[in-house]
Chain A
Amino acid sequence: ILNVEQSPQSLHVQEGDSTNFTCSFPSSNFYALHWYRWETAKSPEALFVMTLNGDEKKKGRISATLNTKEGYSYLYIKGSQPEDSATYLCASNTYGNNRLAFGKGNQVVVIP
C-alpha cells in the first residue's frame, strides 16, 4: 500500500489570502501525482496530473509543483475565494500501475 500523506488536514483561510499545503508520497518507482478538488455534494474533479520532477502546473489561481526525488508536491491557492472551499485530494501511483493511492485530503474553508 502506497503511503500518501497530506498536511495540514484542515485549514481556515481569510478571503483574499494565499495558502498552500503539502502532499508527500513514496519516491521509489514513482509514476504520477494527481490533485483533485472535492466540493461538498459533488464528485471529485481533477486539477492536475504531474509526472516529471520539477513540473509546475497552473489553473487560474491554483498551482502545483512536484519534486519526485524527495517525494512531495505543493498545492498553492492565490487570493483565496469562498468558491475555493473544498477538500483537496492528492493521489499517487507507481510505474505502469493505474492504482491510485489517496491521502486523507486537505479541507479548506475560505472565510468571507
Chain B
Amino acid sequence: DGGITQSPKYLFRKEGQNVTLSCEQNLNHDAMYWYRQDPGQGLRLIYYSQIVNDFQKGDIAEGYSVSREKKESFPLTVTSAQKNPTAFYLCASSMYRQPNTEAFFGQGTRLTVV
C-alpha cells in the first residue's frame, strides 16, 4: 500500500539527548515536510524539502535538523538546543510544484522529554 510512515509512535528521551524521528514515504512524492503540534496551536512548519539533497527552514526550525539523502526518507533530529521539544510531530509529503494537490500525512510521533 502507498503511504507515509512515521516511527516510532511514542518516544521518550532524557533532557539533553538528541533524538531522530523517522519519516518514510513510497508515494514517489518530491516534497516532504515536518510539522509540530502543541496544545491549542495549529500545525507549525519546522523544515521542508522539495527535492533530494535540498531542504529549507520553516517557521520554527531552531533546535532541529533534517537530511534528505533519499527521495523516500526525511528524518528529523530534535537536538538538545531545542528548548521545548515535548510535542506531537507530523510528517507529510506532496507532489512538488503542484500546490493545488493534497498533502499526505503520517500518523505522527509523540515525543516526551523528561
Chain A residues in the interface with B (C-beta under 8 A):
1, 4, 31-32, 34, 36, 41-46, 49, 51, 89, 91, 93, 96-105
Contacts and interface: CB of A to CB of B under 8 A. Distances in A.
Interface in B79-114: 90, 94, 96-108
A31 B99 contact: yes
Contact of A104 (B40, B58, B99): B40
Interface string B56-95: 0011000000000000000000000000000000100010
B87 to A, nearest CB: 15
B1 to A, nearest CB: 13
Nearest to B106: A43
Contact of A102 (B40, B42, B94, B104): B42
Contacts of B50: 98
Most central of B41, B43, B104 by chain A CB within 10 Å: B43
B19 interface: no
Nearest to A4: B42
Contacts of A101: 45
Interface of B: 4, 31, 33, 35, 40-45, 48, 50, 58-59, 90, 94, 96-108
B28 to A, nearest CB: 15
B80 to A, nearest CB: 26
A87 to B, nearest CB: 10
Contact of A31 (B100, B102, B105, B108): B100
A103 B45 CA distance: 12
A1 B59 contact: yes
A42 B107 contact: yes
A32 B100 contact: yes
Contacts of B45: 99-101
Contacts of A43: 4, 90, 104-108
Contacts of B43: 89, 91, 102
Contacts of B42: 4, 89, 102-105
Closest 3 CB pairs of A and B: A46-B102, A102-B43, A43-B105
Contacts of B100: 31-32, 49, 51
B58 A98 contact: no
